[in-house]
Amino acid sequence: MLKKLCLVVLFISLSCAGGTGAGAQVCGAIRNDYAPSASCAVLIDADSGEVLYEKNPDTRRPMASTAKVMTALVALENYDPDEIATVSKRAAYQEGSSVYLTEGERISVNELLYALLLESGNDAAVALAEHCGSYDLFVEMMNEKAVLLGLSNTFYSNPTGLDDPSGCTTALDLARLLAHAMKNAGFAKISGTRKIGFGGRVFVNHNKLLWYYEGVDGGKTGYTRLAGRTLVTTACRNNRRLVAATLNDPCDWSDHINMYSSEFDKA
């Protein structure tokens, strides 16, 4: 089974999934000795919280655009999706990945959430943060939510995940966050959407495992030069939900498949 999965991985486009952009290495066959290339990795059971695999699970590292899982969750818990936000100059000219929002544009929170989670739009992240009335207050809300969820090794310095010396998370915190976020019906629907159009815009999900691994139905990608490639995904089979998270991982697609297969393909 693992050899067959390897052939699938080699056909996955390895373009950057978020942040400023970079290509991943082609890592070849999925290793039978099951050794992720990530600096940090975990696989957990989403319902019980049991850690099924771990590699430096509590080591703090930059999170890149996986921060947008929390951005989306806070927005969903505090906004009505039908609310209309006005794009500021700060949002429109935000650096990094973008869906090309324009200053003064009026756009629904719902569309911003799809732009955030599918296309990893930093402009959408800032627009969502500012919609509460204060960018800084929104970031405070993100950190308050992290405390409530017991994510003791996570701190957000912005809603985008762009590099900042104070921003950090761990593979275990990231996996636990996604497990919680998937309980929000709105988050689960958006995160698992492969492609959607809004007027003249079309958003395509950067999470390629939605197409290439059976059961994957959510997650978030990320990349910055400081963080490297970051990825958190979730997969459900036979009513069992698992969550995988990797930080600084050049072979993230194959490593997530390998971790999932280690559990789902058990006899």
In the residue annotation, 89 being an active-site residue is answered as no
Q: Which of these is catalytic: 55, 68, 145, 220?
A: 68
Is residue 106 helix, strand or coil? strand
Q: Which of these is catalytic: 65, 157, 254, 261?
A: 65
In the residue annotation, 68 being an active-site residue is answered as yes
Q: Which two tokens stand for residue 98?
A: 């973008």
Q: How far is CA 124 from CA 14, 65, 97, 102, 116, in A?
A: 24, 12, 10, 11, 6
Phi, psi of 209 (to 5 degrees): -70, -15
Displacement of CA 172 from its chain's centroid (Å): 14
Interatomic CA distance for residues 167 and 132, integer angstroms: 21
Q: Which two tokens stand for residue 3?
A: 């050899």
In the residue annotation, 120 being an active-site residue is answered as yes
Q: Which of these is catalytic: 37, 88, 97, 120?
A: 120
The catalytic residue positions are: 65, 68, 120
